[in-house]
Amino acid sequence: MLSIERAHAAIVACCASPEALDTLPTHPETHTCRVAPDELLLVTPPALLEDTERRAAAHFAVADPAALVLDQSDGWSAFTLRGDEADAVFARLSAVPLPARRPAFVQGAVAGGSAKIIALDDCIHLLVPSTLRHHLAARLQDACASRP
């Protein structure tokens, strides 16, 4: 059974040297998404936002004092696809190949817009800029309506 739900996530952007990013410790419930050699997003439950920011800032105070740590949660919207048909629905919206080995992070166009994709064994999280929230929601509804 397919389930598509609006998810709530805290997103912390970290801009630092690649070496400092490579050594950043994270919480087990936090997904580390490397978006560029010198930038990563920490995607975590909202309840862990303050702790995630604090830990990142403490790490970078030593590893790269010029680093930038920013809460960007308001700039992103998240959706979660669950169930046996999640991969098939995703494929209707994007040509981005999902890795068979999970957890995995990829980025690319979904429903015509830029997205970050966290593929887990039991679900797919889609992160899009907040300005695309309504567009993606409509496209997800269309993709589900056209399922065989």
| Sign of the dihedral defined by the CA atoms of residues 93, 108, 101, 55, in that order | negative
pLDDT for 19-44, tens place per residue? 999 999 988 999 999 999 999 999 99
pLDDT at residue 147 is higher than 70: no
Q: Which CATH number fits domain 75-145: 3.40.50.1220, 2.160.20.10, 3.30.1360.120, 1.10.150.120?
A: 3.30.1360.120
Q: What is the pLDDT of residue 34?
A: 98
**% the chain with pLDDT above 90:** 91
Q: Would you say domain 9-74 falls under CATH 3.30.70.1520?
A: yes
Stated pTM of the model: 0.93
Among 76, 10, 80, 77, smallest CA distance to 44 is for: 10
Q: Exposure pattern of 68-103 as b/e (b: 16+ CB <10 Å)?
A: ebeeebeebbbbbbbeebbeebbeebbeeeeeeeee
* Pairwise pLDDT comparison (95 vs 2), residue with the higher score: 95
Compute the average pLDDT of residues 44-53.
Answer: 97
Neighbouring C-alpha atoms within 13 Å toward the C-beta of 101: 0
Q: What is the mean pLDDT of the chain?
A: 95
Domain ranges of the chain: 9-74, 75-145
Banded pLDDT at 143 (limits 50, 70, 90): confident
